[in-house]
Structure 1
Amino acid sequence: MTLSDEQIAELEAVRAKLEVRMVEKPRRYQHSVGVAKTAYEIARAYDVDCFSAALAGLLHDWDKVLDDHELLVRAAQYGVRVAGSPSAAVGLLHGPVASYELLHIFEGIDASVCQAVARHTVGAVDMTPLDMVVFVADAIEPGRHGDYAERLRAMVGESSLEELFFQTFAQGLVYVISGGRYLYPTAIDIYNAYAAKRTR
C-alpha cells in the first residue's frame, strides 16, 4: 500500500509539530520517527492501513514530554481509568492521556489512531490489528537494541500479527518482572487471553 500525496503531506505536517513539541527531547523525537517508519513497514506486511499506522507511530509518545504530576492531573481531568496505583503507573499514562488530547489537537484524526496511541503502553485483551502494529513498532524500531529486538524483527511477515504481538507483549513482561518494576494489574489478563488463543 502506498500513501497518497495528501497523506504524505499530512504526515509531514504532524512530524513538524512533533519536532517542535519535542525540541528539548531529541532522542524521544527520533524514537517517534523510528516507530512511525517501523509501523508503516509492519502495516504493509500485514495489510493494515499504512497511513494510520505511521500517524499513530508519530503520535504515540506525544505526551511523553509531560512530567509525572501533569500526567496525573490530566488523567484525572479526562477520567482516564487506572488499574492499581496511579502513581506507580504514571509512566504508562502518556498514551491514554494523549488519546484524549489528540482528538482536539488534530482535526479529523481517526478514533482508531487515538486508540492505538492509548494502547501502546499496556495493551488490551481485544487489540485491533492497528493497535498491535503500533505496540510492536514501539518495541522494535531501529533505536531498540538487543537479541529480543532482533528476534522480533525477524518474525515480521513470517508469523501472524497476533503471534508477533503476543511475543512482543511477553518480552515486555519479562523485562518488567526481571527488573523488579511495577507490573500493571491488567497485564496478566492480557497475557492469558492471547496465550489461551495459541493453545486452541
Structure 2
Amino acid sequence: MKVGEEAKQIAEMFGAEPLEAEHAGYLHDISAVFPNEQRVTISQQLGLEVLPEEEVFPMIIHQKLSKEMARSLFNISNPAILNAVGCHTTLRKDASLLDMVLFVADKIAWDQPGTPPYLQEIRQELEKSVEHACYSYIRYLWQKRESLRVIHPWLKEAYYELEARLHADEGIIHVKRNT
C-alpha cells in the first residue's frame, strides 16, 4: 500500500496520472504470493519470457508475474499500468513517465527493516527530476554490480540510456517537477 501512496505523490509532482500511479503501486508486488523457487516454473507455464538472469535470480521475475496477474486476475487492461508493473524492479530502456514514477516509488517505500542506504540521494535527485532519481538508484546498483548475483539486461539498458541522456543534456531536465 505504501508504494501506491508514494507513487501517487510522485505522479502529482511530475504530471503523471495519479490514479494510474496509485493503482500500479498497489499491484506491483501481487506475485509475492509465489515463493522465489516457484516463480520461473510458473512464468514458463504462463508463457512468459524467462531471461537467463531471471533463472539465476528468480526474485526479479516477480515484476513480469505481477503484470500478468494484474491483467488476468484483476482485469487491468490499461497498458500504462501494466507496463509500469512489469518493469518496476529493473526499469527498462525507453521507460515511460509512469514506469519511472513506479520504479522510484518502489525504491523509496522500502519494505525491509531499517533505512535504505540510497534513500537520501534518491530523494535529493527527485528534486531535480524523476529521471535523475531513477538514474541515482540504478547508479547505486551499478557501482555494486560486482557483488550482485546478476545484472538484469533491462536495468543495464536503462542505466546506459539514462546516463547518456542526463550527461548529454548537461543539466536539462526532461520531466520537470510541477511547481
Residue 4 of structure 2 corresponds to which residue in structure 1?
36
**Post-superposition shift, 1:147?**
4.5
**Post-superposition shift, 1:109?**
4.1
Equivalent residues of 2:104, 2:134 under 8 A apart? yes
Counterpart of 1:123 (choices 72, 91, 110) is 91
Residue 124 of structure 2 corresponds to which residue in structure 1?
154
Counterpart of 1:63 (choices 11, 31, 37) is 31
Looking at both structures, which has the greater relative contact order when contacts are Cα pairs under 8 Å and sequence separation is at least 6?
Answer: 2
Residue 143 of structure 2 corresponds to which residue in structure 1?
174
Aligned equivalents of 1:66, 1:147: Cα separation in 2: 27
Assess, with a 3 A threshold, how the Cα gap between structure 1 residues 191 and 71 changes in structure 2: closer, same or farther: same
Residue 105 of structure 1 corresponds to which residue in structure 2?
73
Output one character per residue of 1:64-97: Cα deviation in whole Å (capped at 9) or x when no partner: 1201343112211233223324421311011101
Equivalent residues of 2:125, 2:136 under 8 A apart? no
Residue 15 of structure 2 corresponds to which residue in structure 1?
47
Aligned equivalents of 1:184, 1:108: Cα separation in 2: 26
What amino acid sits opposite 2:86 in the alignment? Answer: A
Report how many residues are paired: 166
Residue 174 of structure 2 corresponds to which residue in structure 1?
none
Assess, with a 3 A threshold, how the Cα gap between structure 1 residues 87 and 131 changes in structure 2: closer, same or farther: same
Unpaired stretches in structure 1, ≥5 consecutive residues: 1-32
Equivalent residues of 1:36, 1:58 under 8 A apart? yes
TM-score (norm 2): 0.82
Aligned equivalents of 1:135, 1:168: Cα separation in 2: 9
What amino acid sits opposite 2:141 in the alignment? Answer: G
What amino acid sits opposite 2:78 in the alignment? Answer: D
Aligned equivalents of 1:118, 1:100: Cα separation in 2: 8
Aligned equivalents of 1:86, 1:108: Cα separation in 2: 24
For the pair 1:81 / 2:81, whether they are aligned, the reply is: no
Assess, with a 3 A threshold, how the Cα gap between structure 1 residues 76 and 178 changes in structure 2: closer, same or farther: same
Please, what is the CA RMSD of the aligned residues?
2.0
1:48 aligned counterpart, secondary structure? coil
Unpaired stretches in structure 2, ≥5 consecutive residues: 169-179
Aligned equivalents of 2:53, 2:133: Cα separation in 1: 29
Equivalent residues of 1:89, 1:184 under 8 A apart? no
Equivalent residues of 1:39, 1:57 under 8 A apart? yes
Residue 91 of structure 1 corresponds to which residue in structure 2?
59
For the pair 1:138 / 2:102, whether they are aligned, the reply is: no
Aligned equivalents of 1:143, 1:73: Cα separation in 2: 26
What amino acid sits opposite 2:42 in the alignment? Answer: R
Percent identity between the two aligned chains: 23
